[in-house]
Amino acid sequence: MDAAEKLPEPGGAPAPAPPHADSERGGTLTVDLDAVAANWRALVSRVVTADCAAVVKSDAYGLGLEQIAGKLAATGCKTFFVADIAEAKRLRASALEATVYVLDGLPPQGAAAIAELNARPVINSMTELAEWDAFVAANKWQGGAAVHVDTGMNRLGISAEEAAALAPRVQNVNHGITLLMSHLACAETPDHPLNFNQIRLFRELRTLYHGVPASLANSSGIFLGDSTHHDVVRPGAALYGINPTAGRHNPMRPAVELTARVLQVRAVEHGESVGYGATWTAKRASRIAVVALGYADGLLRAASGSDRARGGTAIIHGKVCPIAGRISMDLACIDITDLPEGVVRRGDRATFIGGKLAIDDLAAAAGTIGYELLTSLGRSCQRVYRGG
């Protein structure tokens, strides 16, 4: 007997089968693992001489660290960047032989945990370096570490002056530095002067670290040209279909689809409002599809539609329809008036990302970026994987 089947209750009808996972939650985030792998291969072809790593921090941007890392490792990716030790532990289950860098660096007394995972901390301060060196010396640890230099982001990293003072260390046989890295602050804006300044400064520092691999480019940085590629590039967002070339054609394949179930179709008379705050008013007799997706599911409230501003959109029965009124915790309303009456029914699906609607479209409607949107959606929606 199939596990999903139930024996009849004594003297009664068969018990109903449990609902399909797709109907247990209102929102479904479908992740195309083949597209993620194809995006990684496309980036590999752009950098040629550099190793193409993968940034899978924040649960692979909300899409599932184990699934994404496992697919990329099978595709040929050998180097991964995670946020913290907890993510490094998760990644090891999917990529046993990979080189793993921990971007948040070395937490106090965290050296042993990183070493146990055979991971490498990204050293972000001289204090972290001193603690790591003490652990390495006491335990004769042979694993390496990255040194992160702040070239203009003013976030994490040692200063350029500290990096220059540290450079003579690489003349030692067992210096322990396996990567010199920095992070571009404005790569999404190719003409920004800070890009030139950071590229120049990092190039100068790299000459002091002869023989140590270097890494500067993130997703958008890869598209700035060869001057950013060095030895290792670190794409993240581009792997997941976010456009790394803002304002231009997206060279990456879409990798996610977001859909939600229609709960009800209702008529709204001319002049009536929809949703909290009565911010959207029907300019004609209208029909509204109420769908099971809201800001608790990651559909950002800022994507709401109002009388003053057009918000996000969704595709229902092949037509792009606007969000009507404020997105609430578990619900959103879609104006389907331009669709033939009776076409949209309870149980149909509305698509918020997919087809004509890119991640960046929905993000722009919410006044944010695809990074924030993906990480918000990934926490709550039902995930479905294809191409695993």
Q: What is the pLDDT of residue 10?
A: 38
With beta carbons less than 8 A apart as the criterion, state whether 213 and 231 touch.
yes
Residue keyed to tokens 């490498």: 120
Is position 240 annotated as part of the catalytic site? Answer: no
Amino acid at 79: T
Rounded to whole angstroms, the Cα distance separating 151 from 204 reads 11
Among residues 243, 245, 228, which one has the least CA distance to residue 52? 228
CATH number attached to the domain at 256-386? 2.40.37.10
- Residue-wise DSSP of 211-262: TS-EE---HHHHTT-GGGTSSEE---GGGGT--SSTTS---SPP-EEEEEEE
Task: Specify the DSSP class assigned to residue 300.
Answer: -
DSSP 2: -
Residue 3 has a pLDDT of 37
Report how far residue 36's alpha carbon sits from residue 31's, in angstroms, rounded to the nearest whole number. Answer: 9
**Is the CB of residue 66 less than 8 Å from the CB of residue 289?**
no
130-145 as b/e: b if 16+ CB within 10 A: ebbeebbeeeebebbb
Q: At CB < 8 A and 24+ separation, what contacts does 110-118 make? A: 110/85, 111/135, 111/136, 112/139, 113/85, 114/85, 114/88, 114/143, 115/139, 115/141, 115/143, 117/85, 117/88, 117/89, 117/92, 118/92, 118/143
Q: What are phi and psi of 212, to 5 degrees?
A: -95, 125
Catalytic residue among 57, 71, 101, 209: 57
Domain 49-240 has CATH 3.20.20.10: yes
User: For position 173, what pLDDT does the model report?
Assistant: 85
CA–CA separation, 115 vs 110, rounded Å? 9
Note the pLDDT of residue 18.
Answer: 39
The domain locations on the chain are 49-240, 256-386
Which residue positions in the chain have pLDDT lower than 50? 1-21
Residue bearing tokens 């967002």: 237
Q: Which of 6, 276, 283, 356 is catalytic?
A: 276
C-alpha span between 45 and 275 (Å, rounded): 48
pLDDT the model gives residue 23: 54
Global confidence as pTM: 0.91
Nearest 10 degrees: Cα torsion 119, 125, 131, 134:
90
pLDDT at 357: 97
- What span, in angstroms and rounded, lies between the C-alpha atoms of 309 and 366? 11
Known catalytic membership, residue 78 = no
